[in-house]
Chains A and B, each alone.
Chain A
Amino acid sequence: MTTNQNINDEEILDEEMDNLVKEVETINKEIDETSKETSSEMKGIEEDINKTIKGINEDIAVLEKNEEKSETEMEELMLEEAEDLAKDDTKDEEN
Chain B
Amino acid sequence: MEKGTVPTSETTAKIEGAIEETNAAVVINEAAGNDLAEEKKAIIEMGKASGLTEDEIEKLIQEGTPLNASTGGTAEKKDDIITVEAEEIKGPITSNAENIAAGESISPFIEPENKGFFNKMSTGGKKIMSMAYEGIYKIPVVNRAVAKMEIAYNQFWIDKKEEKSVELKGKMDGLDIQSKTFGESKQEIISVMEDLKKEGNPGAASLQLKIKEIEREEAKIANKKNTIQSKIELRENKIKIFTNKRDQVADKLIGKYEKKLSPLEGKLENLQVYKDKLDLFVVSTEAKHEEQTAKLNIIKERKQILEQKFMSLGQSDRQIRRDKTIKFLEEQIETGHQKIEVEKKIMNAKNEEMNKKIAKADAKAMPYRDMKDEFIRVKDRRPIKIDLKEREKIVENKTTESTTSHTRTEAREETKAEQTTAHTREPSSATAAFENMPAVSQHILSINEYLKRNNASELQINQHEFLRATKLTEGLHVTQKKFKEIIAIYYKNKKIPESKYLGLLNNIK
Contact = CB atoms under 8 A, between A and B. Distances in A.
Contact of A78 (B148, B267, B329, B471): B148
A55 B262 CA distance: 13
Contact of A60 (B252, B329, B368): B368
B278 interface: yes
A77 B314 contact: no
B313 A13 contact: yes
Nearest to B93: A75
A56 B43 CA distance: 43
Interface residues of B, number: 75
A10 B306 CA distance: 10
A45 B313 contact: no
Given A10-B313, A24-B296, A56-B361, 4 more contacts: A6-B313, A28-B332, A84-B245, A85-B111
Contacts of B275: 49
A24 B333 contact: yes
B339 A78 contact: no
28 contacts: A6-B314, A9-B309, A13-B309, A16-B302, A17-B326, A23-B295, A34-B288, A45-B354, A48-B274, A52-B361, A53-B271, A56-B271, A56-B365, A63-B264, A70-B145, A73-B256, A74-B145, A75-B148, A77-B253, A78-B149, A78-B249, A81-B153, A84-B245, A85-B245, A86-B89, A89-B112, A89-B113, A90-B85
A28 B339 contact: yes
Interface in A30-63: 30-32, 34-35, 37-39, 41-42, 45-46, 48-50, 52-53, 55-57, 59-60, 63
Nearest to A17: B325
Interface string B67-103: 0000000000000000111101110010000000000
B292 A63 contact: no
Interface of A: 6, 9-10, 13-14, 16-18, 20-21, 23-25, 27-28, 30-32, 34-35, 37-39, 41-42, 45-46, 48-50, 52-53, 55-57, 59-60, 63, 66-67, 70-71, 73-75, 77-79, 81-90, 92-93
Nearest to A73: B256
B291 to A, nearest CB: 9
Dominant secondary structure of chain A at its interface with chain B: helix
A28 B336 contact: yes
B289 A34 contact: yes
B121 to A, nearest CB: 20
Contacts of B361: 52-53, 56-57
Contacts of A49: 271, 274-275, 278, 354, 357-358
A24 B358 contact: no
A11 B141 CA distance: 82
A40 to B, nearest CB: 10
A17 B305 CA distance: 10
B220 interface: no
A9 B292 contact: no
A9 B333 CA distance: 24
A25 B332 contact: yes
B313 A38 contact: no
A82 B89 contact: yes
B241 A88 contact: yes
Contacts of A83: 86, 89-90
Contact of B281 (A32, A42, A70, A84): A42
A75 B89 CA distance: 12
Given A28-B335, A34-B343, A60-B365, A81 B248 contact: yes
Contacts of A20: 299, 302-303, 306, 329
Contacts of A34: 285, 288-289, 292, 343
Given A56-B361, A57-B361, A41 B471 contact: yes
Given A63-B264, A86-B112, A93-B83, A52 B141 contact: no
A60 B325 contact: no
Task: List 3 tightest A-B contacts by C-beta distance, closest first.
Answer: A24-B332, A59-B264, A86-B86
Interface string B304-339: 001001100110000000000110110011011001
A86 to B, nearest CB: 4
A42 B347 contact: yes
A85 B271 CA distance: 44
A9 B86 CA distance: 109
Contacts of B364: 56-57, 60
A74 B150 CA distance: 13
